[in-house]
Structure 1
Amino acid sequence: MEVNKDRYYRIKWFWNILKNGLFLFGVRNRLARIGFDIDPFYWVLEGDLTCESPKIKGDPSAYEFTQLNAEEITSIKKKIHGNDDAAGLPNFHDQQICIGLEYKGEVAAFMIIELNDFNYNRKKFHLKENEAYLFHMYTFEAHRGKNLAPYLRYQSYLMLKDMGRNRIYSITQFFNKSSKRFKKKLNARHLQLFMYIILFKKYHYHFLIKNYDS
C-alpha cells in the first residue's frame, strides 16, 4: 500500500510541474538535495499601481482578504508539509506580515511580507523604512487557475502603500515560469540577475550576471 501511495505521489508531482511549466524548476530542486544547486534568480521591483487591478475568476465574493497569525501559519505548514512546490516554507516571526485569501473559512492562498533586512541563499539584502520584500506566494491546488496570486499581490501593494512602504521587491527564480507569469500581469520589473551556486553542500558562490538598470 505504501509503495502504491509513493508511486501515486511521484506521478502527481511530475504531472503538476509539467502542467505549470516547472520541469526545470523541479529538476533543480531534486539536484539540490544531493548537494549540487544552480539557482539563477532575478531581483525584482513590484508595486506598480498603474497596472490593471487583477480580478478573481469565478465568484470574488467567496474570497476574503485576511491577515494570518502565527497559529494559522503553523496549521498551514502542517497541511502542505512534504509538497515539493511548497519546499522551503520559512519560519514565520512577529516582525513579518502574512496575508491571505480565505474561502469558506479556509486559507486558499497566502504570502509573507518582510520589512527588515534578510538573507536569501546567504546573500544579505538591506531594506529601508519605505521598502518591503514579498516572498513565498502559495496557492492551494484546489484554488489554482482563479487568478488569486495576482489579486493577493495587488492587495499587498495597497496595504503597504498605506504603511508608507512604496518600494516593493521580490525574488523570482529563473526557472519558475508560473511566478514570472503572474508578476508580469502586475508590471513587475527585473532589476538584476544573479547566479547562486552550491557545490557539495559546502561551497557557496554568488555572481551578478546582469544589471538591468545600467
Structure 2
Amino acid sequence: MTEPDRPTGPGQPAPQEREARSPRPVLELDQSASASEYNPAADQDGDGGRVRRFWSVRRVPAALVALVVVGGAGLLLYDVAAVRADRPAMRWRRALADHLAEWRLDEIAVLAGAGAAMLLGLWLILLAVTPGMRALLPMRRDRPHVRAGLRREAAALVLRDRAMEVSGVQSVQVRMGRSKASVRARAHFRDLDDVRADLDEALGAALHELGLARPPDLAVHVGRPPAKKR
C-alpha cells in the first residue's frame, strides 16, 4: 500500500524537487582486498607501466643560484653603465682585472678556483638530471594518474614492528635503503637458525605487503645480546 503524496505548501518544494536536491551517494574505492592479494594493473600514463621516482623541487638550490646570478649580473651591469657614463669603474673590477693580467694559468690559486668552479657546475648538473627525494620510496600503481610513496623511516618502522613479533627476538635495528633492507636482531632464546628463518618469512611478507614498486633486497643478521659484565 503506497502512501499518498502529501500536499505541499507554498514554501515547501515538490517531491520531484526534493529528490533532485537530495545529495547523491559518494562512490568510494573498494579497499577490502588485503595487501597480500594486491595485483596492480599496468600503468596507462604512457610510461609503459614503469613506476618512476619522485622528483624533488629543490627550491633552496634554485633560489641560491638565482640570487647569485641576479646579484652578480646586476652589479656588473651597473658598473658597465657607469663606465659608459664616463665614470670610473669600481675598484674591485679594476683590481680583479689587474690580478688576472698578472696571474698565470699554472698558478695554484688559478687552478684551485677553476677546480672549485668545475665542481660547483658538476654538482648543479647532477641536481638537474637526478630525481632526488631518496627518502621517499615509490609504491605500486593500480590506477593511472595516481601516485603514492612511502617514506623509508615508515617502512623501517613497519619492519621493526613485524620483527619484534617473532618469538625469541629481544631487539631489532632496521636500516631501510632504496635497494636493500638490513635487519639486525638480537635473540635471547631459541636457536639462531630458527629465529632467522622466522624473520625471513615474516619480513618477506611485510615487504610484500608494503606495496613498493621495487621491493628492496632483505638482509637479516641474528646474534646473541652481549653478555653482562659482573
Instruction: Give yes or no for TM over 0.5.
Output: no
TM-score, length-scaled by structure 1: 0.23
TM-score, length-scaled by structure 2: 0.22
Of Structure 1 and Structure 2, which has the larger fraction of its residues in strand? 1
Higher relative contact order (CA 8 A, sep 6+): 1
Of Structure 1 and Structure 2, which has the larger fraction of its residues in helix? 2
